[in-house]
Amino acid sequence: MAIGKPLESILYLTSSLLLNLIIFTLLSIYLLIKPYLVEPVQPLRVTLEEPPIHPKHMELRMQKEKTGVKPKGGEGTTTRKGKDLVSASPYAVESKEGDVVLPSGKPQEEPSLLEDIEKRVRGRLKEVDREGSPSREIGEVTAVISSGGVGLSGSSRGAVYIPPFPKLYSDEPLSPMKIKVWVEPSGTVSKAQIVQRSGSPHVDQKMIEFIKQIRFEAIKESGVQTGIITFRFKGG
């Protein structure tokens, strides 16, 4: 009984060892021959090609339209058709009502919009020039100062009212003074502007107030007239 147990153990170990050795051998052989059993996967190649484009042939045929015109009598042209000569008279085109006949030579130019605008601008400039002409001015007016008052001379429009001349004082001699006036059609002075000063602010202010009170003759024409009034003071 004691000898049988060791023998049984030896047989068990031997059989286990042989079984493991066989399994290991088979596994090794499988791993070695596996690459040769499986076919390698080839990479997929994709190529894109454009189909060739074949141009379509187009045939152009010249066809003479039949306009229903009659040949005009007289000398024509001679052409060759095969071995025979064919004489063809020139065509005479029938004109219909509403057709426009263009003169021969230089083609007719279309009207230019810029030329029309330029003409209008030039006309407007002429009107502006007429407004600034002497008919729109009362001229150069000279104020004559005397003991009886002030008189205006040289104006195309007479003065219907001149206020009393103001009392002026100055320690310095006064220079000739020029004032530009804007006269309405009614005769009133709507604006006065000093062109040349007298040298005294007090005198300049008094003269502006004096000028604005003057009344000229009324006119029927529209538009404001301008003029320059010159004052010469004693000792100036």
Residue closest to 156 by CA, chosen among 130, 179, 133: 133
pLDDT digits (tens, 9 = 90+) for 16-63: 888 888 998 988 888 888 777 666 666 667 666 666 666 555 555 655
Return the minimum-mean-pLDDT range out of 37-51, 89-103, 141-155, 208-222: 89-103
Give a yes or no: residue 157 inside a domain. Answer: yes
Domain span including residue 188: 134-168+178-231
Q: Where are the alpha helices (DSSP H) in the chain?
A: 4-37, 113-131, 201-211
Check: CB of residue 91 under 8 Å from CB of residue 71.
Answer: yes
Total domains, the chain:
1
Exposure letters 117-148 (e unless 16+ CB within 10 A, then b) = eeeeeeeeeeeeeeeeeeeebbeebebeeeee
pLDDT given at position 131: 47
Sign of the C-alpha dihedral computed for residues 55, 56, 59 and 60 taken in this order: negative
**DSSP code for 154:** S
Give a yes or no: residue 209 inside a domain. Answer: yes
Residue type, 112: S
Give percent of the chain above pLDDT 90.
Answer: 25
SS3 30: helix
Report the predicted TM-score, pTM, of the whole model to 2 decimal places. Answer: 0.43
pLDDT digits (tens, 9 = 90+) for 140-197: 888 877 766 788 888 888 899 999 988 888 888 889 999 999 999 999 999 999 999 9
**Per-residue pLDDT for 81 more than 60?**
no
pLDDT given at position 197: 94
Which pairing describes strands 137-146 and 77-81: parallel, antiparallel, or unpaired? Answer: unpaired
Give a yes or no: residue 159 inside a domain. Answer: yes
Give a yes or no: residue 1 inside a domain. Answer: no
Q: What is the CATH number of the domain that holds 217?
A: 3.30.2420
Cα separation, 218 vs 138, in Å, equals 12
Check: CB of residue 160 under 8 Å from CB of residue 216.
Answer: yes
Give a yes or no: residue 199 inside a domain. Answer: yes
Cα separation, 218 vs 185, in Å, equals 6
Give a yes or no: residue 67 inside a domain. Answer: no
Place of tokens 């202010």: 205
Return the minimum-mean-pLDDT range out of 121-125, 145-149, 175-179, 216-220: 121-125
Give percent of the chain above pLDDT 70.
Answer: 58
Give a yes or no: residue 57 inside a domain. Answer: no
Give a yes or no: residue 3 inside a domain. Answer: no
